Structure 1
Amino acid sequence: MKAALILVGTELLNGGMLDTNSLYIAEELNKYGIEIEFKITVRDFMDEILKTIDYAKKNVDLVIMSGGLGPTIDDITKEAIGKYLNKPLIVEDNELAELKEKFKKANINFIKINVKEVEKPQGAVSFKNDVGMAPAIYIDGIAAFPGVPRELYNMFPKFISWYSKEKKLLKDGIYIKDILTFGMAESLLDESIREFFTEDGIYYEFLVKNYGILIRLQSTESNKNKVEKIVEKIYNKIGVYIFGEDEDRLEKKVVQMVTDLGMNISTAESCTGGMIASRLVDVPGVSSVLKEGVVTYSNEAKIKRLGVKKETLEKYGAVSEETVREMVLGLDSDIAIATTGIAGPDGGTQEKPVGLVYIGIRVKDKVYVERKIFNGSRNKVRERAMLQSLFSLIKILKKGESNE
Structure 2
Amino acid sequence: MKASIILVGTELLSGGTVDTNSIFMAEELNKYGIEIKYKLTVKDTIEDIMIALEFARKNSDLIITSGGVGPTIDDITKDAVAKFLGKRIIVDEEDFKVMKQKFDERKLKYTPNNIKQVEKPEGAVSIENQVGMCPAVYVDDIVSFPGVPSEVYDMFPRFLKWYAEEKKLLIDEIYIKDLLVYGLGESYLDQQISELFTEEGIDYEFLVKDFGIIIRLQGKNSNKNIVEKISEKIYNIIGDNIFGEGNDRLENLVITKLKEKKLSLSVAESCTGGLLAGKIVSVSGASEVFKEGLVTYSNEAKMEKLGVKEETLKKYGAVSEETALEMVKGLKTDVGVSVTGIAGPLGGTKEKPVGLVYFGLKVKDNFKVEKRILVGPRNKIRERATLQGLFYLNKMLKGNA
Deviation at 1:103, TM superposition (A): 0.8
Give the secondary structure class of the aligned counterpart of 2:14: coil
Contact 1:172–1:222 (CA under 8 A) maintained in structure 2: no
Q: Which residue of 1 aligns with 2:221?
A: 221
Q: Which amino acid aligns with 1:347?
A: G
Q: Which residue of 1 aligns with 2:22?
A: 22
Q: Which residue of 2 aligns with 1:11?
A: 11
Deviation at 1:178, TM superposition (A): 1.0
Q: Which residue of 2 aligns with 1:312?
A: 312
Q: Which residue of 2 aligns with 1:115?
A: 115
Give the secondary structure class of the aligned counterpart of 1:292: strand
Q: Which residue of 1 aligns with 2:140?
A: 140
Contact 2:33–2:171 (CA under 8 A) maintained in structure 1: no
Which region of structure 1 is more displaced relative to structure 2, 8-17 or 164-173? Answer: 164-173
Alignment gaps of 5+ in structure 1: none
> Cα deviation per residue 1:151-173 (whole Å; 9 max; x = unaligned)?
00111111111222222221644
Deviation at 1:190, TM superposition (A): 2.1
Q: Which residue of 2 aligns with 1:129?
A: 129
> Cα deviation per residue 1:59-110 (whole Å; 9 max; x = unaligned)?
2211110001101111000011111111011122211111111111111122
Q: Distance in 2 between matches of 1:25 and 1:69?
A: 18
Contact 2:203–2:218 (CA under 8 A) maintained in structure 1: yes
Deviation at 1:380, TM superposition (A): 1.2
Contact 1:273–1:297 (CA under 8 A) maintained in structure 2: yes
Give the secondary structure class of the aligned counterpart of 2:251: helix
- Percent of residue pairs identical: 60
Q: Distance in 1 between matches of 2:172 and 2:341?
A: 52
Which region of structure 1 is more displaced relative to structure 2, 147-156 or 157-166? Answer: 157-166
Contact 1:325–1:360 (CA under 8 A) maintained in structure 2: yes
Q: Distance in 1 between matches of 2:105 and 2:397?
A: 46
Alignment gaps of 5+ in structure 2: none
Q: Which amino acid aligns with 2:112?
A: K
Q: Distance in 2 between matches of 1:109 and 1:83?
A: 31
Which region of structure 1 is more displaced relative to structure 2, 113-122 or 45-54? Answer: 45-54
Deviation at 1:354, TM superposition (A): 1.0
Contact 1:211–1:387 (CA under 8 A) maintained in structure 2: yes
Q: Which amino acid aligns with 1:336?
A: G
The within-5 A match list for 1:197-208 is: 197-208=197-208
Give the secondary structure class of the aligned counterpart of 1:13: helix
Q: Which residue of 2 aligns with 1:357?
A: 357
Deviation at 1:28, TM superposition (A): 1.1
Q: Which residue of 2 aligns with 1:372?
A: 372
Which region of structure 1 is more displaced relative to structure 2, 55-64 or 269-278? Answer: 55-64
Q: Which amino acid aligns with 1:228?
A: E
Q: What is the alpha-carbon root mean square deviation over aligned residues? A: 1.3
Is 1:344 the counterpart of 2:341? The answer is no
What TM-score comes out, normalization by structure 1 length?
0.96
Q: Which residue of 1 aligns with 2:181?
A: 181
Q: Which amino acid aligns with 2:67?
A: G
Contact 2:32–2:171 (CA under 8 A) maintained in structure 1: no
Q: Which amino acid aligns with 1:25?
A: M
Q: Which amino acid aligns with 1:259?
A: K
Q: Distance in 2 between matches of 1:277 and 1:248?
A: 19
Is 1:262 the counterpart of 2:223? The answer is no
Give the secondary structure class of the aligned counterpart of 1:58: helix
Structure 1 residues 72 and 247, CA, compared in 2 at 3 Å: closer, same or farther?
A: same
Q: Distance in 1 between matches of 2:157 and 2:353?
A: 47
Q: Which residue of 2 aligns with 1:60?
A: 60
Is 1:103 the counterpart of 2:103? The answer is yes
Q: Which amino acid aligns with 1:356?
A: L
Which region of structure 1 is more displaced relative to structure 2, 159-168 or 63-72? Answer: 159-168
Is 1:78 the counterpart of 2:78? The answer is yes
Give the secondary structure class of the aligned counterpart of 2:102: helix
Deviation at 1:200, TM superposition (A): 2.6
Q: Which amino acid aligns with 2:78?
A: K
The within-5 A match list for 1:32-47 is: 32-47=32-47
Deviation at 1:45, TM superposition (A): 1.3
Q: Number of matched residues? A: 401
Q: Distance in 2 between matches of 1:204 and 1:165?
A: 27
Q: Distance in 2 between matches of 1:184 and 1:323?
A: 27
Contact 2:90–2:120 (CA under 8 A) maintained in structure 1: yes
Contact 1:328–1:360 (CA under 8 A) maintained in structure 2: yes
